[in-house]
Structure 1
């Protein structure tokens, strides 16, 4: 029978996967390269399966390693959540979190649910607006933390996630086949809009803006109605949509980066803990779709203020 897994070995395994090397993983877990190698050998011996190919100079997970990776992330997530819950159970307060409605809907539900379990006395007041407005609101001391799309002219903040962009169209519609591509876009200043127009320009495709909305809901309506093509982050693609690409005459799109900003003034312990949690967890969050999770209500839903 396989013995109980050692959390330290699982943490080292994840450090190797996330950093791509034994030496860099050693820096993360505070061990030498030989010690890291020995830990992985102990983990493989415990599981009775090799997790990495034999060529350690070019680390690559085996098929069993790929399977174990999912379990390892779940183990560490629960371990870290339990530690946070009992190490900091007395943290109290309200945190104002600014985030675009798109990320609030598709990336934050699962993350905030886990944070709420670990910190039941912290109330999150969430305010939704476009990324271009969030940073200014934080500088006015209206927000403690901001999660936003990295703006071309703003290099502050910590990158916490890279999200692929994709073209979206109605499942049974082909607006991209038109000679002049009809677009549904956010207002000027939107990084999604900018990336779409730049890509079409490089590809030599003519375009026209036929639908324009301040919110994702408006863009979704135009897409589902078959009126236009739009650009969404991958996490927001819904049933009833398809993702046209180069085979359909639309160019590839670059990924966007999500950044975390912290208010320049001193933050409360509650805000610092939420910021640290976002930095650690957001990159691994899977997209949330209400139909898939309707039976799993949050233990305490964040209070939304502003445009949802």
Structure 2
């Protein structure tokens, strides 16, 4: 039996190409040339003995075998990077303030932060839960070191580390979605979740009213659980006793929103850098397998 050995760099290139949808972007992220990335992917296919990509026009799509390799590649990279973190962790200590909306604090970050705490026991993470716009301002003032937020229309800078699919949600036994004037549970004005909800209903000429306004996901969920309203949240927040509404029920598909990661220019400590890099890596591993379109303002992850 001939045993093959997979270069960790091949696996990292595969994950990055699927994440970014671009060999060019992968080369930029990994600091290599485009031909080098292409060669690594070709070599990985040769070792696998099966095609990993199918070409649909200019777009590269994973084959079923490619999906299998991607799943294992993510697991291998996760263990590989955790080992490196464990070896480096004892030398890093400090205090870091992490800002994020409570939606992500509750549904996206717990598993990642749990692994981070085990890898870096000397780093104390203080969590600051707030809406995205005030958090970005806090990062600019240096009051928050690292922030994971939803990109709003007027945001500049930041690093795109993933996307969240927005969905309509209603209580399992609720009839709120059947009312002639749809009762909505929304975040305050200026939030992109709210903007998309209202815009989509107006596109299909459905009447609506605000039945609940809350700065926290808990308040919106309470309105949905009680049966008094329909809300729009990221799919990760869909929990038992809630269900997703479809276009057949009069609720048109919603877009995805970008997740941005910021680091304050004042957060120069190794602890802040470690948390920023950890979040960037693990969130990008869980990104949906769709290319993330570039934004003209996305030139750096730091806030100057």
Contact 2:145 2:267 in 1 (8 A): no
Looking at structure 2, the residues matched to 64 and 139 of structure 1 have their Cα atoms a distance apart, in angstroms, of: 44
Q: What is the CA deviation profile of residues 99-156 of structure 1, one whole-angstrom value per residue up to 9, with x for unaligned ones? A: 1111101011111122223322111011112223223333443211122222222323
Cα distance, 1:146–1:24 mapped onto 2, change above 3 Å: closer
Contact 2:19 2:284 survives alignment (8 Å):
no
1:148 to 2:146 alignment: no
Distance 1:131 1:119, change over 3 A: same
Aligned to 2:138: 137
| 1:73 corresponding residue in structure 2 | 74
- Change beyond 3 A, Cα 1:209–1:40: closer
Structure 1 counterpart SS, 2:253: coil
Alignment of 1:38-187 (within 5 A): 38-53=39-54, 59-187=60-188
1:185-241: CA deviation from partner (whole Å, max 9, x where unpaired): 122233211221122122211101112223211211111121111111111111121
Cα distance in 1, alignment partners of residues 118 and 21 from structure 2:
31
How far did 1:280 drift? 2.3
Alignment of 1:268-287 (within 5 A): 268-285=269-286
Contact 2:15 2:285 (8 Å CA) reproduced = no
Q: Which moved more, 1:268-277 or 1:129-138?
A: 129-138
Unmatched tracts of structure 1, length 5 or more: 288-308
Note the C-alpha offset of 1:45. 4.0
- Whole-Å Cα distance in 2 between the matches of residues 102 and 55 of structure 1? 36
Mapped partners of 1:186, 1:58: distance in 2: 36
Asked whether the 8 Å contact 2:164–2:258 carries over to 1, the reply is yes
1:266 positional shift = 4.5
8 Å Cα contact 1:183-1:230 kept in structure 2: yes
Alpha-carbon distance between aligned partners in 1 of 2:120 and 2:200, rounded to the nearest angstrom: 43
Paired with 1:196 and 1:31, the residues of 2 have a C-alpha distance of 41
Aligned position for 1:201? 202
Q: Over the residues paired in the alignment, what is the CA RMSD in angstroms?
A: 2.7
Alpha-carbon separation, structure 2, partners of 1:57 and 1:151: 30
The equivalent of 1:220 in structure 2 is 221
Distance 1:253 1:88, change over 3 A: same
Superposition map of 1:2-13 within 5 A: 2-13=3-14
Where does structure 1 differ by over 6 angstroms across 4 or more consecutive aligned residues? 54-57
Distance 1:212 1:7 in 2: 48
Contact 1:107 1:285 in 2 (8 A): no
Q: Is residue 162–residue 283 contact of structure 1 (8 Å, CA) maintained in 2?
A: no
Q: Is the 8 A contact 2:162 2:287 kept in 1?
A: no
1:34 deviation in Å?
Answer: 5.5
